[in-house]
Amino acid sequence: MNKKNGAVLVLSGPSGAGKSSLINKVFDDLGECYFSISTTTRPMRSGEVDGIHYYFVSEAEFKKDIEENYFLEYAVVHGNYYGTSLKPVRDALSAGKLVLFDIDVQGNTAINNRLGDITTSVFVTTPTLSELKRRLQGRSTDSQEVIHNRLQMAKREVQRISEYDYLVINDNLDEASEILKLIAKAARMKIPSNDINEFVQKWEDI
């Protein structure tokens, strides 16, 4: 029971809710941790770096990766493909790391179906829809049409908060970061079901 277990922490929530800022702020305080870098067909935004924020690929490359079973999960979000690579996640889990995902609601469902017993999920959002709109407009990286689509999508995503273990309202980044650190600590303590059986068996024997 004292062996190191890997665990999964999923963060979802509307684009613009501040998931990336939160992850950047807490990452160094989370201990042995791996952030799953997704692959996407979405165009790179200014300031983004290939291999750090995402692996940016063409649609043809993405479809080839699907055929080769490269993904743990993938989904179409805002008209672009996004996917989580299986191998680095598997390696990080075997090394006992906490694996962090920034994925949408479809991705959370897929991860829970495959790794539910070691997964903790968090939905991050702004206090209100109008605050989300303000932040997206302030980001000035997206056109009005893209912002409109993201807000419509956000309204649909918020309907699915009940599928998550925790809700973090990112009103104040410092406060939200402290809450996320506590959740990450608890996520590491989640016990895979086969370990529970092993523990109960040993516990009864002694």
Q: Which residues bind to ligand 5GP, rule: CB under 6 A?
A: 12, 15, 38, 42, 73, 75, 77-78, 82-84, 102-104, 106-107
Instruction: For ligand 5GP, give the closer residue by CB, 52 or 189.
Output: 52
Instruction: For ligand 5GP, give the closer residue by CB, 79 or 189.
Output: 79
| Minimum CB distance to ligand 5GP, residue 35 (Å) | 11
59 beta partners: none
What is the greatest pairwise CA distance in the chain? 66
| Minimum CB distance to ligand 5GP, residue 42 (Å) | 5
The residue with its CB nearest to ligand 5GP is 107
Instruction: For ligand 5GP, give the closer residue by CB, 41 or 177.
Output: 41
Q: Are 30 and 107 in contact (CB under 8 A)?
A: no
Instruction: For ligand 5GP, give the closer residue by CB, 158 or 191.
Output: 158
| Minimum CB distance to ligand 5GP, residue 78 (Å) | 6
| Minimum CB distance to ligand 5GP, residue 101 (Å) | 7
Instruction: For ligand 5GP, give the closer residue by CB, 15 or 121.
Output: 15
Q: Are 117 and 187 in contact (CB under 8 A)?
A: no
Instruction: For ligand 5GP, give the closer residue by CB, 33 or 89.
Output: 89
The encoded tokens of residue 72 equal 């743990």
CA distance readout (Å), 55 to 15, 28, 90, 168: 18, 22, 18, 27
| Minimum CB distance to ligand 5GP, residue 21 (Å) | 12
* Measured distance CA(81)–CA(136) in Å, rounded: 21
| Minimum CB distance to ligand 5GP, residue 4 (Å) | 25
